[in-house]
Structure 1
Amino acid sequence: MYYCSKNFKGDSHFISAGIFMSKDSWIHSSRIIDSYEIICGIEGTLPMEVDNEFFEIEAGQMMIIPPGVPHKGFKQTQGTIRFLWFHFSLDTVQSLDQQEAQQLLTDDFCPNQLLLLPNYHDKLNMNRLYLMINQLLDLYQDQVVPPYIDAYLNSILYEITHQTMQLLKSSLLENDTLQPIQDWIRIHAFEKISLQSIANHFNYNKNYLSRKYKNETGIGITMQITKHRIDQAKLLLAESNLSIEEIAAYVGYDDAKYFMRTFRKFENMTPTQYRFTFNKRHFNKV
């Protein structure tokens, strides 16, 4: 299911946000709230029952709970659990199923005013969303004026809408030969992979695959790998205490200096400077 507005004018309003953490067994309380809540899994599995549907939210997955809907944990968590959450209000939206959401791609309306939020998804670029939500948390901790934090909240909702529309477009392609390759690159990006090794794995000529991939996605394979690595590095810089050298190795770079040059080329700042932008957090702990 999707929550949709075809006349969205950036009029959502931020309420609260935080990071929940627990190393012990825990279960989400039963409640009904009067706002929307977005939950993004970071670590562990969060079992949730939402309006009599059962979900297990893991790292890299996102759920949206609408207002007025009963929800609760349906069993105790196991091991460490960690997730980002934030609440916001939103004017009236309509619920769409998958087919109705795909129909938006052919409808005659202004896409600049579209808001489309999936109630659950496991294929969004969560590294990008993690970073944006972390910046939202920093603004919340800094107690910035409401119009400022509302504007940033809206940018997150627009980002979710953009990614959702891109995924819907991909699902409409009857013979999307690149999707398995894109998935494989995403999964193996931190390993020692290259255009040649990917071409060999999928039995393509290297030059043909390079042209096809760039023509259909707008980005080269080598750049795609680098983008995945930098996105993960940004997340580790914001969320961990790993050293720059350890992060470089984690995302697939043997040479930390080369990693730092590449990072600066992408982000216009050093990894250390980037890390210093994330110095405040609102944690919930049990």
Structure 2
Amino acid sequence: MDSLMFPKNQVVTFMIGGNFSADAGWKHKLRYHHGDYELIICVKGPINLLVGDETVTLNANDIYIVPPYTSMKGTEPSNRSIEFYWLHFLLPTKPAASQGQLQSANSSDKNQNLIIDNSYHLQSLDELLILTHQLLAVDVSGTYSTQQQNLLMTLILTVIGNLANKTESDEKNRTVVNQLKEWIRANIYRSPTLTDIANETELNRQYVSRLFKKFVGMSPKHYMIQLKIQTAQALLIRTNLSIKEISGYAYFSDDKLFMKQFKQVTGVTPSSFRSEYRKIYHNNQVIDPVLPIPEEITQKLDHDKDPGTPKES
């Protein structure tokens, strides 16, 4: 994937731009880019293109930068209405940096330059579209309109770089959280603390807690409680185990604490849950494979298709 790179203390030159929309059946005409780049911000897709020898399909929230000296044309008509913004610009320095050049660039070079890949998918276009509307609304009769347009175009590229880096960072953090969730499931038998979880990733305790709240919607402690309660729920409707036995197999060290937390989370006691949801089990005998049910109980479940009347605790 090629990227463009230019010094952070310089501005690009905006040339021309606009908004385009069309009904289903539209196909991009053949165009050739001489020395300029074209930024395409897709609002509604799909837009089917052949850029040089690369086949590209742009959908909503996709960003694509067509490099200089490249032909572009539609490959097939769109199957529904489309809309996109198109902005042509020139870089202040040499037009492109190859992937090899970027990899060989040292950290100092990267700190001094803005580096943007030629394609991204963003979570939201809101911030970008506000700037694009401002750019296209500049009064070209103004004394400093050219400078204003160039600065806005540069800011648009900077925002794309920031949003893309944030998206990449979020993906990395989401991967970390998923790994931690798996680690918690594998180690739930020892009720790991936040410190234990943080040590597993060599991350700060507060940072781990913030990641969990952002991507899971709760703290690691509450995630672990939810996991234990869900395990208990499965055992209540799939086995004849007593409430006290289920408390232990759901990784609670105290059956009184289990009953208290079960009611806090579900709103009912374990016995009431078992009575109310046993009928539902008969219609759907699937247990979430993610639940950390002990192996000796899992083996029992494989042979126990009808637990029958539950024992009293």
State the TM bucket, normalised to the shorter chain. 0.5 to 0.7
The aligned residue for residue 215 of structure 1 is 207
Please state how far the C-alpha of 1:76 moved relative to its aligned partner: 1.0
Query: Is contact 1:213–1:219 with CA below 8 Å preserved after alignment?
Result: no
Give 1:219 deviation, angstroms. 8.5
**Alignment match, 1:122:** 121
TM-score normalised by length of structure 1: 0.56
Native 8 Å contact 1:213 1:220 kept in 2: no
The amino acid across from 1:115 in the alignment is: L
Q: Calculate the TM-score normalised by the size of structure 2.
A: 0.52
1:145 matched to 2:145? The reply is: yes
Residue of structure 2 in register with 1:242 after alignment: none
Matches within 5 A, 1:7-156: 7-34=7-34, 35-90=36-91, 91-97=93-99, 101=102, 107-109=107-109, 111=111, 113-123=112-122, 125-139=124-138, 145-156=145-156
The Cα of 1:94 is off from its aligned counterpart by 3.0
Alignment of 1:245-264 (within 5 A): none
The CA distance in 2 between the partners of 1:58 and 1:217, in whole Å, is 34
Question: 1:25 is matched by which residue type in structure 2?
Answer: G
Shift of the 135–217 alpha-carbon distance from structure 1 to 2, 3 Å rule, reads farther
SS across alignment from 2:176 = coil
Unaligned runs of 5+ in 2: 198-202, 218-313
Cα displacement string for residues 162-208 of structure 1 (whole angstroms, at most 9, x for unaligned residues): 2344455667x599324899xxxxxxxxxxxxxxxxx9xx9899x96
Distance 1:107 1:129 in 2: 27
Q: Conserved in 2, the CA contact under 8 Å of 1:178 and 1:213? A: no
Structure 1 residues not aligned, in runs of 5+:
182-198, 226-286
Which gives a bigger RCO, structure 1 or 2 (Cα 8 Å, sep 6+)? 1
- Identical aligned pairs, as a percentage? 18
TM-fit CA distance, 1:39 = 0.6
Return the offset for 1:127. 2.8
The one-letter code sitting in structure 2 at the alignment partner of 1:215 is Y
Larger radius of gyration: 2
The answer as to whether partners of 2:5 and 2:97 remain within 8 angstroms in 1 is no
Partner of 2:247: none
SS of 2:109's partner is coil
Instruction: Flag the 1:215–1:66 CA change in 2: closer, same or farther, 3 A.
Output: same
Give the paired residue count: 202
Residues 126-275 of structure 1 mapped to structure 2, 5 A cutoff = 126-139=125-138, 145-167=145-167, 176-178=175-177, 215=207, 221=213
